Amino acid sequence: MHEMSIIESLLDAVRAELVKYPGAQVTVVRVRVGALRLVVPDVMESCYAAATLGTPLEGSRLELEAVAATARCPQCQREFAVQEQWFECPKCQAVGGELLTGQELDLMNIELEETGAVATA
């Protein structure tokens, strides 16, 4: 279950950010996840709940924003949606497109009780 290792690294990033806000209570953690990460949102959420149990983050919510996978054709430069990780240009059928999006795993922001959202770098 690779979701758990993803959650662990996200939580490291969250904790590093929270060092600046001692005593803050987290309500929501927002994350952008690319389609090629192949995570199951339900599994991510239950892993998050399990990993935060008994920690200061217990009771906070994980919100996922899905990012579709796109690539750019090496020949005609067309940008296209990647289907099933097959990088074939729909216009000229060239393969080996350059991946533009789909690998994201970015901590977007952390919402704290009362003090509002905290933008992360």
Separation of alpha carbons 54 and 81, rounded Å: 41
Least Å from the CB of residue 36 to Zn ion: 20
By CB under 5 A, tell whether 89 contacts Zn ion.
yes
Separation of alpha carbons 10 and 4, rounded Å: 10
By CB under 5 A, tell whether 105 contacts Zn ion.
no
The residue within the footprint of Zn ion, chosen from 91, 96, 115, 117 (CB under 5 A), is 91
By CB under 5 A, tell whether 94 contacts Zn ion.
yes
Q: Give the interface size with Zn ion as a residue count (CB under 5 A).
A: 8
Residue type, 38: L
Least Å from the CB of residue 83 to Zn ion: 15
Residue type, 39: V
Q: Is the torsion defined by CA of 69, 74, 77, 78 positive or negative?
A: negative
The residue within the footprint of Zn ion, chosen from 11, 57, 73, 82 (CB under 5 A), is 73
What number of H helices and E strands is found in the chain? 2, 7
| Binding stretches for Zn ion (CB under 5 A) | 73, 75-76, 78, 89, 91-92, 94
